[in-house]
Amino acid sequence: MQNEAREAWMDWLRDAHAMESQAETMLNAQIGRLENYPALRMRLEQHLRETEVQRQSLERLFESLGEDASGIKAGMGKLMALGQGFAGAFASDEVMKGSLASYTFEHMEIASYTALIAGAEELGMAEAVAVLTPILEQERAMAAWLAENLPPLTRSFLARAEADLEAKR
Asked whether the beta carbons of 18 and 75 are under 8 A apart, the reply is yes
Q: Which does 94 bind (CB under 5 to 8 A by kind): Mg ion, Fe ion, none?
A: none
Question: Minimum distance between the CB of residue 110 and Fe ion, rounded to whole angstroms?
Answer: 8
Q: Whose Cβ is closer to Fe ion: residue 94's or residue 139's?
A: 139
Q: Looking at 109, 113, 116, 125, which residue binds Fe ion (CB under 5 A)? A: 109
Crossing angle (nearest 10°) for helices 38-64 and 2-33: 150
**Of the candidates 64, 83, 68, which has an alpha carbon nearest to the alpha carbon of residue 125?**
64
Q: Which is nearer to Mg ion, 91 or 101 (CB)?
A: 101
Give me the least distance between CB of 60 and Fe ion, in Å please.
18
Q: How near is the Cβ of 138 to Fe ion at its closest, in Å?
A: 7
Q: Pick out residues in 125-154 that bind Fe ion (CB under 5 A).
A: 139
Cα distance from N-terminal residue to C-terminal residue, the chain = 51
The angle formed by the CA atoms of residues 13, 110 and 25, to the nearest 5 degrees, is 70
The nearest distance, CB 117 to Mg ion, in angstroms, is 14
Measured in whole angstroms, how far is the alpha carbon of residue 2 from the centre of its chain? 30
| Interacting residues with Fe ion (CB under 5 A) | 109, 139
